[in-house]
Structure 1
Amino acid sequence: MGNRHLRMGQYNRLKIIKRLDFGVYLDGYDDEILMPTQYVPADVEIGDFVDVFIYRDSEDRAIATTLEPYGTVGEFAYLEVTATNSMGVFMNWGLPKDLLVPFKQQRDNMIVGKSYLVFIHLDTKTDRIVASAKIEHFLDEDTSELSEGMEVELLPFEYTDMGIKALINQRNLGVIYRDQVFKNIELGKPTAGFIKKIREDQKVDLALVEQSYNRIEGSKNEVFEKLQAAQGFLPFTDKSEPTLIYRTFGMSKKDFKKAIGGLLKEGKILLKEDGIHQVVS
C-alpha cells in the first residue's frame, strides 16, 4: 500500500481503521483521514472499505464524505457563484465548503447568483481544490476521437449570438447553432446531441437529438431490414464501435441499442455473443 496515494478532490476507496465519538478515521495511506459522524454509513465496521470523496475543510484538513459534489478534480462543472471576497469568488459544488475561483482564474467579472462553466483542478502550490473559469486552457483541441454523426453528451453552458456553446463529452468545445435549437435548453443540464460537422479549423458544429417515438420505430425498421438482407445475421453487439454502427445503420449507438432492445422484446431477434440473429418462426 506504500506506493498508493490519496487522490485529493476525487473518490477514493479507503479502509476504516478507528471509530471515535465524532466519526471514523480512514487509512489515507500517508495519513489518517477523518469522516465525520454525519457521513458515516449506518452499517459499517472497522476493517470495512468505504467509497468517499476527499476534500479540504475550512481549516485545510483532509476530510472524507459520502456526499457527492457536482464535479470532481479533472472535470468541468456548471456551478453557481454564492459569495465573493478578496481571494476570489466561491461556488456551490454540493459540499459544506464552497469551491474557490481565484481572481486570476476568472474570465469575466463573475457575479453572485449567476452560474458559469468552470474546470476543477488542484492548485499545485497549495494542494487545494480550486476552479478556473478560463476553460480554454483545459479543453482538448484534438477532435480525432469525434466523427460526424456520432452521438455525444453535451453540457450547454453559454448563450452567444450564434447559438449555445456546449461542452462535448467533458473534453471538447462545440456550438449548437440557433437554427438547431428546437427545444428549451437548460444551461448546465446534460443533454444528448450529435456531431453535425467538424470544420477544417477543428471547430465543431452540434445538433440536438430529438428523442421521439417515431425515430426509434424508424431505427428498429432499419436494423430489421438490414438483418433480413444479410440472411438473418449481423455481427453487431452492444459492444460494437459507435462509428461502425453509424456507418452501417446511419444511427447513433444509443438509438441502435434502443432498436435492438425493441426487436428483442417483440421476439424478432436473438442476441448472441457473435451478434444479432433473426428469429425464424
Structure 2
Amino acid sequence: MIVEMQVARKKEIGYFLTDGSEEVFLHQSEATDDLRQGDRVQVFLYHDHENRLAATMAMPHVALGEYGWLEVVDMSARLGVFLDNGTKKDLLVFVDDLPKLQDEWPRPGDRLLVTLKRDKLGRLLAKPVTEEEVVKIAQPADASMKNRQVEGTVYKVIQAGAFLLTEDEQILFVHREEMTERLHLGQTIRCRVSFVREDGRMNGSMRERKEVQYGEDADKLLRYLLHRDGAMPYTDDTPAEVIRDKFQMSKSSFKRALGKLMKERRIEQKDGWTKIVKTD
C-alpha cells in the first residue's frame, strides 16, 4: 500500500512515521532522503521478515490493484517463487498459485505477469494474472502476422500446451506437438506464428516451416546413415515409438524425410532396410 505519512520523530537508526492514529517504522536504509520531524513523505507499507508493518521510500514496480512483469529471483519447493518488486523484501508467489508440476514453475531470471493480493494476515503476496485479466489487456492480431517470428512469455501452462503474451500484448498458443522443448511458466521464447484465428488470437510453432523442417530431417537421416556405413534397419514400417526414441521426430516427419530422399534418389528401401544409393 502506498500512503503519505508524517515524520513523528527521528531515531539513530531511522524514523517513526504516523498517519495520525498509527505509527510505522522507516529504517534509515529504506529512506531515500534525510528527513526531519514534521516532513510528509510518500512510503510503501509492507510486512517485514518478522511480520511487522514497516515502511520504505523505495516505490514498488507493482502496487496493490496493479499488474506488471516481475523477475523471479529465488524459489522454494515448500513455499513457491520469489519476485523482485523493487523493494528489499521480495514478493512471494505461493505454491498454491503455481502449477502442480514443479518442472512447470518459473526459474530465476524468468518473468511473471502478476498482480498483488493480501493473505489472511494482511501480508502482500503476488499471484499470476488470470486468463480474464490477460484477455482485457490483449491486442488482436491480424492475418499479416502469419509466419512472422515473435517473442512471447508463457503466462499459463495446460496439458495441451502453453499460452504466451507477446511483446505486442497478443495472445499466442503453442501446442505441445509444436514445441522443441517443454515450456514452463515465465519462460520467454521466440517462435513462428503458424495461424491467426478470427478472434485475433494466434497459434505458434517453435519448429521450422514444414519445407525447411523436411530438409533438416532429411539431413539428419543422411548423417545417421553415413555413420552406419550407409544402411539402417528403419523404414516406413518402423513403429512410431521406435522412430521417436531413435530420431526424436514423429513418424509422419520421418516418412516425409524418407520420401524426400527417395524422390531425390539418394536412398532406397529393401528387405526392411534403408540404404544410401551408391553411385558410380
Q: TM-score range by the shorter chain?
A: 0.3 to 0.5
Task: Please report the TM-score for the alignment, with normalisation by the length of structure 1.
Answer: 0.48
* Structure label with greater radius of gyration: 2
